Amino acid sequence: MKYISTRGQAPAVTASQAILNGIAPDGGLYVPEHWPNLALDWSTLRTQTYSDLATLIFDAFFDDFSVSEIDHIINKAYGEQWTTEDIVSLHNEDDLTYIELFHGPTLAFKDIALQALPHLMTAAAKKQAINDKIVILTATSGDTGTAAMSGFGHVDQTEIVVFYPEEGVSDIQKQQMQSEAAENAHVIAITGNFDDAQKAVKTLLSDKALAHDLDAKNMRFSSANSINIGRLVPQIVYYIYAYAQLVKSERIKPGEEINIVVPTGNFGNVLAAYYASQIGLPVKQFVVASNENNVLTDFFTTGKYNSKRDFKVTNAPAMDILVSSNLERLLYFASGQNSTEIREYMTSLAEKGEYVLKTDTRDKLNKFTAGFASQEQVLQTIKHSRDTTDYTIDPHTAVGRYVYEKIAVSGPTLIAATASPYKFSQTVLQALNISPKSGHDALEQLAEATSTAIPNQISELFDKPVLHKQLIDAKQILTTLRHEIL
Ligand SMILES: *Cc1c(COP(=O)(O)O)cnc(C)c1O
C-alpha cells in the first residue's frame, strides 16, 4: 500500500518512508492511497486482545513491515508500561461508554501512539538503510512532550528535544518533563505561551545551516507530531477494540451504528475514528468537541475555517489550538481525493487565515457535528459527573461530555476519555470546590475527594529529582539546540 500527499505534488511512498518523512515534501500530509480491505468480523474480533487487533491494523496499514517487525513493535509498545492489561478500559453509563485511553506511562491518550512510534521509526530507518540518528524536535503544551519523551527515552539512535512554554503546563506535566532521566532527552522551557514555543521550533525546522550541520554529523530531524501517519494508525485500533468489546458485552448488536464523541485539538484522534469507519466500523455520527478555541465548531457549523482569532489558554490546554492540521486529511477524502482543491484551501489558510468549503465537499461531512465548552462549563461538567455518577473525569474529557449533552446525541455512544483526572488534579479539585495544594499534596487531595487511588505512574513522581531547569528566551532557541545536540 502506498501513501500519497494530500497536496498531490510529492511522490507516492511506502509506509516506512511516510513514517520517516513525517510531512510530505510538498507540505501535504501522507494518506493511504486506498483503504485496506479488512472485512471486519465482529464475532471473531470480540474475542481478540488489544494486541491482536493492533497487529491486524498495523499489518494492514504498514504493509512494508514484516510480520516479525510488527510483532516486535507491538510487544514493545503494549507491554508492562500499561497499568491495564487490555491497554484501554471501558466505563459504561447507560448509552454512553467512556473509552479510557489514559492508562499508559504519562496518563494521556498520546501514549497509545507514542509508545509505538519510536519503534516504528527505528524499524523504518533500518528498512531504508538509514544510519542517521533521528532527532525528534517538539514544541508541547504538555501532553505531547511527556508522551514523546516516555516513548523515545532510551531508544537507541534517537534524541528527543522538547520545548515547553513556561506558562500553561500543569504541575504534573512540568514535573514529568523536568524529571525525565533518559540520557537522550533534552527538555527546555521557553518564556511565553505555547504559540511562542511552537513558532520558535518552526524556525529551527527551516534553518538550512542547521540542517547542513546535522547532516554532517549523521543526524536528521523527524516529527513526533500527530501529522505523522505512524501516530494516526495506532489510534484506529482502540475504536475497533472498543466496538468489539461493546458487541461482546451485548451493549450493541454487531453492525449497529454508534456515535463517537472526541475532545479535539489537532484533529488526530477524531480522524482516527473516521479512518476506522472507512475500514468498516459502523458510525452514525462523529462529534467534534472543542474548548473556547472553537474554530472547529464554527467550521462544521458554517463551512468556513477561520483561524483569525485570539489564542486562548484554557483549562483543557492540550486542545488549545487554532490550526488543526489533521483536518486536511479529512477534507482530502471529503473532496473525492481532489488535491487541487486541498491546495486551494491550504494556500488560502496560509495567506488569509481562512478558507470556505465547496458545497459538494461540505455535504460529504454530514456525519460530523461539533460543539464547544467554555472553561466554566468544563468545571461544572466535572462536578456534575462526580455528583451524579461518582465518576471523575479530566477537563478534556469534560469538554466531550458537555458537548454530548448539549447537542443531545442519542443511541449508543463512545466518548474518548483522553486524560486521567490526576494529570490535571488542580483543575479537577477546583471543579469540586476544593482549594488545590501543589505537587504531590494535590494528588492526595484528589484521591481522598474521589475515593480513588493515585495512579502508580505518578505516585512517586514528586520524589524524582528535577534534572532539567533550563529556561530560555525564544531568541536563544537555535544556540540552545546546537549546544544540546551538536
Ligand atoms: C492531545 C490531546 C487532545 C487532542 O487530541 P488531538 O488528536 O490533537 O485532537 C485531547 N485531550 C488530551 C488530554 C490530549 O493530550
Residue 110 pLDDT class (50, 70, 90 cuts): very high
Overall average pLDDT of the 364-379 stretch: 98
b/e 83-98 (16+ beta carbons within 10 angstroms → b):
beeebbbbeeeeebbb
Say which amino acid occupies 94: D
Answer yes or no: is 353 within a domain: yes
* CA dist., res. 452 & res. 425, Å (int): 13
The domain that contains 276 carries what CATH number? 3.40.50.1100
Q: Looking at the DSSP assignment, which residues form a beta bridge with residue 372?
A: 290
* CA dist., res. 76 & res. 115, Å (int): 8
Question: Is the CB of residue 483 less than 8 Å from the CB of residue 198?
Answer: no
CB 228 near ligand 1, within 6 Å: no
Count of domains observed in the chain = 1
Give me ligand 1 centre to Cα 320, in Å: 9
CB 264 near ligand 1, within 6 Å: yes
Helices and strands (H and E) in the chain: how many: 22, 15
Q: Assess whether pLDDT exceeds 90 at residue 469.
A: yes
Whole-number average pLDDT of the chain: 95
Question: Is the CB of residue 31 less than 8 Å from the CB of residue 4?
Answer: yes
* Grid cell digits, residue 317: 490546554
* Grid cell digits, residue 137: 524536535
Overall average pLDDT of the 144-159 stretch: 94
The dihedral over CA atoms of 329, 331, 332, 333, expressed in degrees to the nearest 10, equals 100
Q: Assess whether pLDDT exceeds 80 at residue 42.
A: yes
State how far Cα 453 lies from the chain centre. Answer: 25
Q: Which atom of ligand 1 is nearest to 143's Cα?
A: 15
Answer yes or no: is 187 within a domain: no
Answer yes or no: is 213 within a domain: no
Q: Which atom of ligand 1 is nearest to 264's Cα?
A: 9
Answer yes or no: is 437 within a domain: yes
How many other CB atoms sit within 10 Å of the CB of residue 387?
9
Q: Assess whether pLDDT exceeds 90 at residue 169.
A: no
DSSP 34: S
The single residue listed with the C-alpha cell 487554532 is 322
* CA dist., res. 274 & res. 260, Å (int): 9
Q: Which atom of ligand 1 is nearest to 272's Cα?
A: 7
Q: Assess whether pLDDT exceeds 80 at residue 331.
A: yes
Range of the domain at 361: 89-106+230-455
CB 442 near ligand 1, within 6 Å: no
* CA dist., res. 232 & res. 267, Å (int): 10
Answer yes or no: is 152 within a domain: no
